[in-house]
Amino acid sequence: MALVSTNQLKNGNHIDVDGTIFKVLEFQHVKPGKGGAFVRTKLRRASDGAVIDRTFRAGEKFRPVHSETRRMQFLYADGTDAHFMDASTYDQIAVPEAQLADSLQWIKPSSEVDVLYIDDEPGDLQLSSTVDLEVTETDPGLRGDTASGGGSKPATLETGATIHVPLFVEVGQHVRVDTRTGAYVSRA
């Protein structure tokens, strides 16, 4: 099996560091004027979603991790686990909610999602960059609230996530949200 070098790192890749699987969120090659080159990385641990900063020597090698996505239906989350069903085989799996906390806030029950399998174990969800969700609760925006005509207010979406939206957004409207940052993009 070929090893993956720090030169081959890409955002979104999975690597095995000392027996622990991580997803590469960011990386930066650094060549100081004095001393050897190194790579600064921001990694997310696949088991619990914790994000760490780690520095490696340039050229350091890691075991590559086999990852694949499978299309599944999100059934429900019960406070401990998130439950999914494979639409073709009707097999059901449960994944700890803590592992998927960032992704779960953007999906509705019964929606189709891509479950990322890391070394044949469900590990994460692959979401599209934006999702359209309905606003279920927000304060009414009053004309003249701001001097510049802009501004924002908190809004609760149908999945339970809370984001900041412009003052003109009302309950019942659909908004487009960036799943990577949790920011309002536009009305849907």
72 and 100 belong to one structural domain: yes
11 and 55 belong to one structural domain: yes
What CATH number does residue 159 fall under?
A: 2.40.50.140
For residue 73, the model assigns a pLDDT of 92
DSSP H or E stretch at residue 99: helix 97-104
For residue 144, the model assigns a pLDDT of 56
Total domains, the chain: 3
For residue 84, the model assigns a pLDDT of 92
153 and 176 belong to one structural domain: yes
Instruction: Round to whole Å and give the CA distance between 65 and 85.
Output: 24
144 and 177 belong to one structural domain: yes
57 and 32 belong to one structural domain: yes
| pLDDT, greater one: 117 or 176 | 176
Side-chain-side CA neighbours of 47 within 13 Å: the count stands at: 6
Residue type for position 60 = E
pLDDT tens-digit profile of 53-87?
Answer: 999 998 888 887 888 888 899 998 888 888 999 88
What CATH number does residue 36 fall under?
A: 2.30.30.30
pLDDT tens-digit profile of 86-133?
Answer: 888 888 998 888 778 778 888 888 888 888 888 788 877 888 888 899
Which of 48, 64, 80 lies at the terminal end of a domain, its last residue?
64
Its domain, for residue 28, covers: 4-64
Which of 64, 86, 110 lies at the terminal end of a domain, its last residue?
64
**Which candidate, 5, 63, 3, 51, places its Cα nearest to that of 24?**
51
pLDDT tens-digit profile of 5-40?
Answer: 888 888 878 888 888 888 888 899 988 888 888 999
For residue 5, the model assigns a pLDDT of 86
93 and 108 belong to one structural domain: yes
60 and 73 belong to one structural domain: no
